[in-house]
Amino acid sequence: MESARTILRGEVGYPPRLAAIEEPPERLRLRGDLGAPGRVRAAVVGSRRCDEYGRDMARAIAAGLARAGVSVVSGGAQGVDGAAHQGALEAGGHTVAVLGGGVDVVFPPEHGPLFDRILAAGGALLSEQEDGHRPERWTFPRRNRIVSGLSDAVVVVQAAEGSGALITADWARRQGVLLLAVPGEATNPLSQGPIGLLRNGARVAGSAADVLAALGLDGQAGLPLPERAAPELDGEAAAVYAALSRTPRHAGQVAQAAGLEPGAALAALLALELEGLAEQRPGQRFLKVAPL
């Protein structure tokens, strides 16, 4: 496990933007690399209980930002946060997860492989909590001021009324951070937060290009994706990986496409997930993840 280090406010390495916010953390615990002090960062946040549209939008926006050299910040949680980190990684980019607990505490537990991939790709896990501190209800709203305080822009993808992502949006307003929201179906409860933000002056984020334009980075939107080497797999793992796609498929469908018994296919899927090559969705559905 990569060791954590402490950065005190006023020390070299403490993010200058974060030092200027209301109630800045006096100390940070960091694993990995935050990147250069002047690097542009954008937070992509939203509901833990997002739907497929929200997850896909978060992933696509984060990937587009990462391709343009923007560091993607989020909270490491389920739903939109996880999709944003995944999108940045799949594009070969940099991402920072600001955690509600200690940087040595994996929460949610299923995001252990994701956090490992963030560090392996040169990104960072960051927290103001002590090592070993388990996340508590009060730590997440406090964490949100750091998510926005690190960022040049905050993009809210999906958020029902009362969602924690709206706390991040409120912090962004108070901190003078550019605020954008993703429009969704008007009758969807998950669209009510973004709709409210748009009514109150947030900019529309229909794609990464909208966010880049708002940041003054229009010319960087078309940078190419890096080349990906095919993973070195054999046997059942290779057959299952070949049967996966970027659209979630039930484990039974994957088994049938791979020509394997359901139990063997599920074991291979779980092994691929641990390697960061597959992602599980609710209902035993899996999708393919590009290798780093």
H/E segment holding residue 8? strand 5-8
Fold category of 5-220 in CATH: Rossmann fold (3.40.50)
CB 151 within 8 A of CB 73: yes
27 vs 7: CA distance, rounded Å: 6
Which residue reads 């996880």 in tokens?
A: 82
Q: Where are the alpha helices (DSSP H) in the chain?
A: 16-19, 52-67, 80-90, 112-120, 139-149, 164-175, 192-199, 208-214, 235-243, 251-258, 262-274
User: Would you write out the chain's pLDDT as a tens digit for each of its 292 residues?
Assistant: 568 999 999 998 899 889 999 899 999 999 999 988 788 999 999 999 999 899 999 999 999 999 999 999 999 999 999 999 999 999 999 999 999 999 999 999 999 999 999 999 999 999 999 999 998 889 999 999 999 999 999 999 999 988 989 999 999 999 999 999 999 999 999 999 999 999 999 999 999 999 999 999 875 554 444 445 556 787 899 999 988 876 678 888 899 888 999 999 999 998 888 887 888 877 788 878 766 5
pLDDT at 86: 94
Chosen CATH of 235-288 out of 1.10.10.10, 2.40.50.140, 3.90.1150.10, 1.10.1200.10: 1.10.10.10
Which residue reads 């035993």 in tokens?
A: 284
pLDDT at 214: 95
Domain extent listing, the chain: 5-220, 235-288
Partnered with residue 11 across adjacent β-strands are none
Partnered with residue 125 across adjacent β-strands are 31, 97
| CA-only gyration radius of the chain, Å | 19
CB 236 within 8 A of CB 230: no
290 vs 277: CA distance, rounded Å: 6
- DSSP structure class, residue 136: -
Which residue reads 């995944």 in tokens?
A: 86
Domains 5-220 and 235-288 share a fold: no
SS3 156: strand
**Nearest by Cα to 77 from 170, 158, 10:** 158
85 vs 15: CA distance, rounded Å: 20
The torsion angle over the Cα atoms of residues 130, 157, 196 and 18, rounded to 10 degrees, is 40
